[in-house]
A = this chain, B = another copy of it.
Amino acid sequence: MRKKKIKIAVTDDQQLFRRGLISLLKEFDELQIAVEAVNGNNLLEQLKTKHIDVVLLDYEMPGLDGAETTAVLREKYPEIKILILTMHNDEEIILHMVEKGAHGFLLKDYDIEIVVDAIYAVMENGYYFNPAISKTILRNLVENKKIKPSFKKGDELSEREIEILQMICAEFTSKEIAEKLFIAGSTVNSHKESILKKTGSRNVAGMVLFAVKNGLIKE
């Protein structure tokens, strides 16, 4: 009798990427695509009736994103291994996700073989970090002398802050945002300050890039 197949969930909002990835994974007989989801909410909905071993989770998604979904998964389904997929080789994102409890980290321009290696690694060892990413993590550990990095940047923005950040990305000035939201310009400034602090940015350029990297822009 054959070994039991590894049950995979693929979660990504971009249909061509999601279907393409699934198509590539189907070449590997030991893997079984058990769930296909377009975002975190959709994934969690399907997990009510289906069982999986590993989830490939896009970091940048509208709706429940990679970070939020990871938090929920670790809470409700601690046995599921989480592999984060992202376009951005960004130290802050990596550390943030490690802290959230992701089991591995994959860039979207990796080879499919690496993805499959990572799936086996998380099943066998519980985690997967390739050399480049391990280095990032270890350096942070050494610098902070902690097991868990006390990484707080990029922590959840409030509803209001996300709303304002999106308007900033739409090229509105603070004054215009204030008028649209019926609040004082100084209040908008104050929200912008919080956004700067939370995202670890110096100015609007950083805020906008944060929005892009975290899928906060609807297009």
| Chain A interface (Cβ < 8 Å from any Cβ of B) | 13-17, 19-24, 27, 85, 87-90, 108-112, 115, 168-171, 173, 201-209, 212, 217, 219
Instruction: Please name all residues of chain B whose beta carbon is closer than 8 Å to the beta carbon of A168 when the two chains form the complex.
Output: 205
Instruction: Please name all residues of chain B whose beta carbon is closer than 8 Å to the beta carbon of A209 when the two chains form the complex.
Output: 169, 208, 212, 217
Complex formed: what's the CA distance from A206 to B207 in Å?
12
Q: Could you tell me if B16 and A115 are in contact, using CB atoms closer than 8 angstroms?
A: yes
With A89-B219, A108-B14 already in contact, the answer to whether A203 and B171 are too (CB < 8 A) is: yes
Complex formed: what's the CA distance from A27 to B24 in Å?
12
Distance between A12 CB and nearest chain B CB, rounded to angstroms: 9
Distance between A126 CB and nearest chain B CB, rounded to angstroms: 23
A219 CB contact (under 8 Å) in B88, B204, B219: B88
Pick 29 A–B contacts, CB within 8 A, sort by A: A14-B87, A15-B110, A16-B20, A16-B21, A16-B85, A16-B108, A16-B109, A16-B110, A16-B112, A16-B115, A17-B17, A17-B108, A19-B24, A19-B111, A19-B112, A20-B20, A23-B27, A88-B219, A168-B205, A169-B209, A170-B205, A171-B201, A171-B202, A171-B203, A171-B205, A204-B205, A208-B208, A208-B209, A212-B212
